[in-house]
Amino acid sequence: MKIDKNFEDFDALGNEHIGTSQNTPMRSDAFRLTNDEKIDIIKDDVRHIMETLGLDLSDDSLQGTPNRVAKMFVNEIFGGLNPDKKPSASTFDNKYKYGEMLVEKNITVYSTCEHHLLPIVGKAHIAYISNGTVVGLSKMNRIVDYYAKRPQVQERLTIQIVKELQEVLGTKDVACVIDAKHLCVNSRGIRDIESSTVTSEFGGRFKDKATRREFLDYIKLDTKF
Ligand SMILES: [Zn+2]
């Protein structure tokens, strides 16, 4: 009975999208297998799911699906679980002495809800104030993409992006806002197509009201090209 109760508790926790850790929960033997070995195992698992659902895997259209899904899991949508894929930490001196905040907005987020394995799609907005070090603009997109390519909870994704940039830039003055749609909410369950989820993390000087306001005002700018 105890096991059943725990299972129900965990099920409810996941359904309410409550995360339990700032770090992605990983097993200590997470990288014992090579990517090819993982693809081989997952391929069989996907085939098993499809066959259990009653699908005929000998059909031309379905034959390649298990292998395709396994490769997509390991190399693409969950590729950010592997620390080897972390974007390199190249930084530059702030030679032009730009002392104001830099905002990179509307970074596309494609992630996956770790409770339902359904897509999270949205936008991330990042800001930092340099204390002597700067990063290339695309670096911020790459960091978002790296942490998004994991089974995720949006709160954790937001925090992981900020912590990574704080480390790379050597400053606490980093902020991130993510506005995203969770397909597990939009397409099933409550099926609310309009709702989206906003999360934010404000480090260092971004905890200050005026600085935070400035960042949020820049996000609202509707720049046309
Ligand atoms: Zn979900």
Q: Which two tokens stand for residue 97?
A: 């002495």
- Ligand 1 centroid, distance to 79 Cα (angstroms): 19
Tokens linked to 162: 């900020």
| pLDDT for residue 4 | 52
Closest alpha carbon to 161 in 142, 135, 179, 180: 142
pLDDT on residue 215: 98
Task: Specify the pLDDT at position 187.
Answer: 86
The span from the CA of 69 to the CA of 75, in Å, is 10
Q: How far is the CA of 18 from the centre of ligand 1 (A)?
A: 10
One-letter amino acid of 48: H
Q: What's the one-letter identity of residue 215?
A: F
Contacts of 20 (CB under 8 A, 6+ apart): 13
**CA 62 to ligand 1 center in whole angstroms:** 26
Say how far residue 219 (Cα) sits from the centre of its chain: 20
With b for 16 or more beta-carbon neighbours within 10 A and e for fewer, the 39-69 pattern comes to beebbeebbeebeeeeeeeeeeeeeebbbeb
pLDDT at 3: 45
pTM: 0.90
Considering 115, 152, 164, 176, which one is annotated as catalytic? 115
pLDDT of residue 21: 73
Question: What does pLDDT average to in each consecutive run of 10 residues of the chain (225 residues)?
Answer: 57 70 91 97 98 98 98 97 90 84 96 96 97 92 98 97 96 98 90 92 98 96 83
Decide the pairing of beta strands 119-129 and 174-182.
antiparallel
Q: By the 8 A CB rule, do 173 and 204 touch?
A: yes
Residue 186: what pLDDT? 87
Task: Give pLDDT, residue 91.
Answer: 87
